[in-house]
Chain A
């Protein structure tokens, strides 16, 4: 017994030593992006290997990143040196005034040729630069080649409509007996972006202002029909590349980075194409991630050096090659890119350049309460599509939640809704 007690004591001491010895000279790079384990490994082993300063790349879910930064700022003890997060995720940090402005750094990086609209987004409507653009992506569709033979007659893959998508799914079900459309509607999936940036804009031409319009009623009814031919496992999917590779799903919607494995592993089996269009156009959502330095960062210079490094054209191309996020600087893309990246890149280009393209931004101005905004859409989806509630009644009830949220945050409209003075008018 005595030896056992001694052992425990030694281990306990060892634990305390490890616990207290965990501070180093390296810069902590906390990211809400590139969380999937394989991607994070690529960042650590490939991208950051040649960085001018030692960086410790760690990831966490977006709300946790924000909470952590707010908590560290409140306690006045900041351990994170550099933050990598989406435009919308950084906003609560801007509002809480916990980010260090980076105008100087931006001036030094003029030769990078950042996409101008991205630089503007990083000012959140003011004059101060709060982050440096890092990388971009969007959501597209992917399909297994086997599915192509069931494409409805006359349908053009690059100009699909939601009605044709439903018909496509129905054709597949009829031929194979299985429902093989797929959506990332699991807890960690990005389904809310589909409603906010794709379905609502395509059917109603707006998001907030048109939430309970008659167009929206028609939209939910149309989507419920699409859901009829959708794989029921969709409520557990987070990354559509998984069910695509497994053959559970043949046609899927998701973030490019969450489809990339399918294109990469079996480039001959999968095709990428733009999201479908509705009566009002082809709604789609570009996604921008930025690099920000927290105020009181342990080593702002190291963080600046890292930003400088990460926005170099060759590193941006490397980023594309390794984790399939697209550059935010104007640079010539090499022709030897992996096939998967090429496949997705063509679909992104086709989507952006479509004649009926209707770009929709991530929610802006909701600050900490963006999660509630997303929940509004997934709740409405749950009620109408999964639980079969009456569409009109549900929208009339849910619109009150939306109204309260918008009024309390005073968020002005963002595209595709028309600009507003003050809080975005609901309905």
Chain B
């Protein structure tokens, strides 16, 4: 092995540790006894493994339902963002038409506006339309937040797929739709998956709109932020841990898409 390969390996390992070590340490904190948060010096190995903290965290009302709500809201957001965003992204990438730049700018501006102001005027109307305190209501606002990203990312994605391929399919007798499904979609699928993760994350991370637009049906983040400032350190750490768990699972579940993305380029 050359020095260069060793360097690359070292860099990769360091970067992996950079991601994993903080997660490992929050796990150790979450599964330690309550007073371990004040222990000094800190042990890097789990001592006194106990589920007392975690059990208390899950026993607290609002945690389990918050978890479920967060996932459902994020899934709804994901579906709506892709369904609305990908067609627009495609149009931006493929067609020249008047108003294109205006649309592009408007889409960017959407995301550039802070969440609070979107959510506050929405509260009263949401009550009027029966959307207040529903998961769908929160998901709709999250979709408004995620949609511009979906448009932006998919447009850059479709831009990267040579239109000659599509045109070739047309000359071979495919209709526009067929060409899209058979040629563009397979190439775009991994990227769309990345876009979907992104929409999921936007929703999963969002706190303010979720807090302001809900009363009982709280997402986990909204629930946590409303009790966090008043919670003891061990509860915070357990909360941090359970916010992270879905990240591990979710990214693991879609790793194939990320990997097949890899496969296309090395074909």
Contacts and interface: CB of A to CB of B under 8 A. Distances in A.
Please tell me whether chains A and B touch each other in their complex, using a CB distance cut-off of 8 A: yes
Interface in A300-318: none
A36 B230 CA distance: 5
A175 interface: no
Given A35-B227, A58-B215, A41 B232 contact: no
Given A8-B75, A60-B226, A238-B230, A40 B38 contact: no
Given A71-B127, A75-B127, A188 B229 contact: yes
A37 B230 contact: yes
B79 A12 contact: yes
Nearest to A11: B75
A417 B262 CA distance: 72
B133 to A, nearest CB: 7
Given A37-B235, A74-B124, A238-B230, A28 B216 contact: yes
B229 A186 contact: yes
Contacts of B4: none
B249 interface: no
Interface string A394-414: 000000000000000000000
A288 to B, nearest CB: 20
A187 B216 contact: no
- Name, among B139, B227, B235, the residue most crowded by chain A CB atoms within 10 Å (CB to CB): B227
Interface string B25-60: 000000000000010000000000000000000011
B136 A8 contact: no
Given A19-B136, A246-B38, A77 B127 contact: yes
B61 A15 contact: no
A253 interface: no
A79 interface: yes
B155 interface: no
A58 B72 CA distance: 21
B95 to A, nearest CB: 27
A51 to B, nearest CB: 16
17 contacts: A12-B76, A14-B72, A15-B76, A15-B139, A18-B72, A19-B217, A20-B134, A22-B133, A22-B134, A35-B226, A35-B230, A41-B60, A64-B212, A68-B215, A71-B123, A75-B132, A239-B230
Interface of B: 38, 59-61, 68-69, 71-73, 75-76, 78-79, 123-124, 127-128, 132-137, 139, 189, 211-212, 215-217, 226-227, 229-233, 235
Given A11-B71, A186-B229, 17 more contacts: A8-B78, A14-B72, A15-B75, A18-B69, A19-B135, A36-B227, A36-B231, A37-B60, A37-B227, A71-B124, A71-B127, A72-B127, A75-B128, A75-B132, A77-B128, A187-B229, A242-B233
